[in-house]
Amino acid sequence: MRIGKDMAYALVAEGKIPNIRLGRHIRIPRASLIAHLQAEAEKVHGEPS
């Protein structure tokens, strides 16, 4: 994603990145992250052709 650790934690805290908390650990499922990134790209660039 090319974002810093602080930004990643902020996005998780805001609920913008789907995540699973296991105790003190945060896990981000790969499929959920890919779906989230595709949805964000569509917002910026419109529907893919």
The predicted pLDDT at position 8 comes to 84
Residue 47 has pLDDT above 90, yes or no: no
Query: Which among 18, 30, 12 has a CA at the least distance from the CA of 3?
Result: 12
Q: How many domains does the chain have?
A: 1
What mean pLDDT do residues 17-30 have?
Answer: 93
Tell me the β-bridge partners of 27: 20
Tokens coding 49:
């052709």
Q: For the chain, give the percent of residues with pLDDT over 70.
A: 92
* Domain housing 15: 5-45
**Rg of the chain in Å (alpha carbons):** 12
CA pair distance 20, 27, nearest whole angstrom: 5
